[in-house]
Amino acid sequence: MKENFIKLWLLQDIDRKLNILNDKLKEIPQRVQDLNKKLAGKQQEFESSKQGLTEHKKQYKLAEVELRAAEEKLATYSAQLYSAKTNEQYKAFLKEIENQKRLKSEIEDKMIVLMEKMDELETKLKVMEMEVTKEQAETQAKLNALEAERKELESALTEQEKQRQELLQSLPPDLLRRYERIRKSKGGVAIATTEQGRCNGCLSPIPPQRLLDIEREDKLYLCETCGRILLPGKAKQEEKTN
């Protein structure tokens, strides 16, 4: 019976490791998604700024067209001013000249603002481009590391599963069924050890005589409170399996 208890202890240790490995493996897709999401955010911000610069350049080109039109009209009205035949015509040309001068000034002011904004965006884009390039390199390195980690975890899982199968084949079927049933109902932990007169699974006290019976390891005992399989102290189990 003692040999079977040692195997059960080893089996629980393997199941514990399998749970840890599986949990880590399940985390990898989310970690990959988070990395790609972070990179996509920076790329989107960069693209938005590029679009902003393109839009400002379009506005600047349009302003250049408007400026040329205002200058042409100003030149036309200035030439017509001296050919006015009446005082009303003269005043009308003067008014149009003033309007075109004001419009020309407004367009020039707008172009200055646009030029300053374009310079600011171009400077910002250069910095952002370097940041995106750096982020891409760092993300790829992290993705490569995650892929390597995934392979290592899968390899470790395969090895632990192999060891588990070997143990399963060496355990009595009825003992194995009981272990599996308890493990499923107790959050993956079927075995508890006696620590300072208590079950370390639920911390319930164990009668002294029962503790002595458990120490002999010649019969299967369950905790009367939590129903887990009871084995002598954890230190003793680790000593036997090392």
Q: What is the pLDDT of residues 179-197, one digit of tens each?
A: 999 999 999 999 999 999 9
> What is the pLDDT at residue 221?
96
For 164-172, the CB contacts below 8 A with 24+ separation are: 164/11, 164/14, 164/15, 164/18, 167/7, 167/10, 167/11, 167/14, 168/11, 170/7, 171/4, 171/7, 171/8, 171/11, 172/4
- Domain with residue 118: its CATH number is 1.10.287.1490
Q: Give the pLDDT band of residue 31 (cuts 50, 70, 90).
A: very high
Residue tagged 């693209």 (tokens): 47
The verdict on 164 and 197 lying in the same domain is no
- Binning the chain into helix, strand and coil, the percentages to the nearest 5 are 80, 5, 15
Q: Are residues 43 and 124 in the same domain?
A: yes
Same domain, 156 and 194: no
User: Would you say 115 and 29 are in contact if contact means Cβ atoms under 8 Å apart?
Assistant: no
Domain boundary among 133, 153, 171: 171
161 and 189 share one domain: no
Strand bridging mode 191-195 / 229-231: parallel
Which of 171, 197, 214 is a domain's end point? Answer: 171
In a domain, 225, yes or no: yes
Q: Are residues 110 and 200 in the same domain?
A: no
Could you tell me if residue 179 is inside a domain? yes
> Which residues are within 8 A (CB) of 118 and not within 5 positions of it... i.e. 6 or more apart?
53, 56, 57, 60
Together in a domain, 95 and 136: yes
- Cβ neighbours for 25, distance < 8 A, ≥ 6 positions apart: 150, 153, 154, 157
In a domain, 153, yes or no: yes
Q: Are residues 22 and 101 in the same domain?
A: yes
The count of structural domains within the chain is: 2
Tokens at 12, concatenated: 């629980």
Q: 154 with 97, same domain?
A: yes
The arithmetic mean of pLDDT across residues 191-220, rounded, is 94
Mean pLDDT of the chain: 94
Using pLDDT thresholds of 50, 70 and 90, give the confidence band for residue 237: low
In a shared domain, residues 115 and 199: no
Nearest to 192 by CA among 1, 12, 7: 12
Query: What pLDDT, on a 0 to 100 scale, did the predictor assign at position 236?
Result: 65
Same domain for 128 and 28: yes
187: left (phi over 0), alpha (psi -120 to 50) or beta: left
50 lies in a domain?
yes
Q: Is 215 inside any structural domain?
A: yes
* Dist CA 96 CA 74 (whole Å): 8
Residue 130: inside a domain, yes or no? yes
Does a structural domain hold residue 12? no
Check residue 242 and give its pLDDT. Answer: 60
Which of 137, 171, 205 is the last residue in one of the domains? 171
Q: pLDDT band at 241, cuts 50/70/90?
A: low
* 80: containing domain: 2-7+17-171
Q: How many CB atoms within 10 Å of residue 149? A: 15
Residue 126, domain member (yes or no): yes
**97 vs 70: CA distance, rounded Å:** 10
Tell which phi-psi region holds residue 191, choosing left (phi > 0), alpha (psi between -120 and 50) or beta: beta
Whether residues 154 and 193 share a domain: the answer is no
Measured distance CA(29)–CA(18) in Å, rounded: 18
Name the one residue in this structure whose structure tokens are 């610069």: 53
Residue 223 near residue 201, CB atoms below 8 Å = yes
Segment 111-115 mean pLDDT = 97
The verdict on 146 and 181 lying in the same domain is no
> Which one, of 190, 240, 183, lies nearest residue 215 by Cα?
240
